Chain A
Amino acid sequence: MRKLAIIIGIVLLYAACKSDGNKATLPIYGNRDTKTDTVDGKPVVDTIYNTIPAFKFVNQYGDSVTEKSLKGDIYVADFFFTTCPSICPIMHRNMLKVYNEFKNVADFKILSHTIDPKHDTVPVLKKYADALGINGNNWWLLQGTKEDTYTLSASYLVSPPQENAKEKFIHDGYFILVDKQKRVRGTYDGTLEKEVDRLIADIKTLRAESNTQIAQ
């Protein structure tokens, strides 16, 4: 009888934890600042969040892509290169899962920045996209100058890629979730299946949030 009571207790505790775990909103990452404005003669304090700055790249179709191309979109970003022998295949095997889940969603995109623009030209990226089996405009493979890409990586809160003679490029395997206001809302280890499942769940949460809330 006592055993039964303990088991019931454990089950109840677990259930309680579970329901606490249901997050309605995602955190906002990065350094923040405040700004004081005067509205109707009263000071109003506003929070300034870390946002992804303006950029200009070219996608696998040769079209130019800027921050304006993402207006009204939630997106996931990562950094890769097509000849990467280590973590990129597993990252993109996992990203393919995200792509397939949301490929018919109009306000969702994936941006994969190449960190080897010298080799990964537009035709190389297109060939890679075809072999990976992606089409349409929900997953862009972006090429730009190395400097622009490396600089941008800092605003995604990941460490900038490193170059090394043997491994060629060393980079983070993170997927970064960005909201419609260009704020970082989550980072996920793109090499782990479990983290990618969390990302898929978070994209759904974020879409629900931005569909109900008016942009602040």
Chain B
Amino acid sequence: MKFKVIAGLVLLLGIIAASCGSETDMEFKRYYIGGEQLYRERCQNCHGKNGEGLSNLIPPLTDSTFLKTNKKLLACIVNNGVNGQLLRVSGKSFVGNMPANDIAPVDIARILTYITNSFGNKMGTVTSEDVARDLKDCK
């Protein structure tokens, strides 16, 4: 009985220790988890649960090359939407509209951290400072 209690405590401490990563890890997780919730509320209806998009109507979010190439434009797209511009994503052409979003830079950062680190993408944290900087250069 005593052994079980001790084993349980050791296991619990182990889990706590493993979940306490470095400071950057914590920051990433905060952005990512917040982004997951926001994605579900604001992006998922169109872009899909797995970022799969919809045929040739709505682009997928699984094209890592597109996301990396257009990294500085992503905040502008989320903030201002898309108005008929041609986008080449995953080898397909998309011409359509995406509505603008009225949300704070920190929430854009959360959404982008989630998208660029899900669906097979791995680009690290997008911070609200990154977003604030990129938004100044929107066309």
Contacts and interface: CB of A to CB of B under 8 A. Distances in A.
A86 interface: yes
A67 interface: no
Interface residues of A, number: 15
Contacts of B44: 90
Interface of A: 83, 85-87, 89-90, 92-93, 96, 128, 130-133, 191
8 contacts: A87-B45, A89-B57, A89-B58, A93-B48, A93-B54, A96-B55, A130-B56, A132-B54
B120 interface: no
Contacts of B55: 96, 131-133
A131 B46 contact: no
B70 interface: no
Q: Name the prevailing secondary structure of the B interface residues.
A: mixed
Nearest to A85: B99
A187 B56 CA distance: 28
Interface of B: 44-46, 48, 54-58, 97, 99
B47 to A, nearest CB: 8
Across the A-B interface, the 8 shortest Cβ-Cβ residue pairs:
A131-B56, A133-B55, A89-B46, A131-B57, A90-B45, A132-B55, A85-B99, A93-B54
A67 B46 CA distance: 32
A83 B46 CA distance: 12
A85 B46 CA distance: 8
Q: Name the prevailing secondary structure of the A interface residues.
A: helix
B48 A132 contact: no
Contacts of A89: 45-46, 54, 57-58
Contacts of A87: 45
A96 B55 CA distance: 9
B40 to A, nearest CB: 12
Given A130-B56, A132-B54, A132-B57, 9 more contacts: A83-B97, A85-B46, A86-B45, A89-B58, A93-B54, A96-B54, A131-B56, A132-B56, A133-B56
B54 A92 contact: yes
Nearest to A91: B45
Nearest to A83: B97
Contacts of B97: 83
Contacts of B58: 89
Which of A86, A92, A96, A131 lies at the interface centre, i.e. has the most chain B CB atoms within 10 A of its CB?
A: A131
Nearest to B56: A131
Contacts of A85: 46, 99
A89 B58 CA distance: 8
B97 to A, nearest CB: 7
Contacts of A93: 48, 54
Nearest to A96: B55
A177 to B, nearest CB: 23
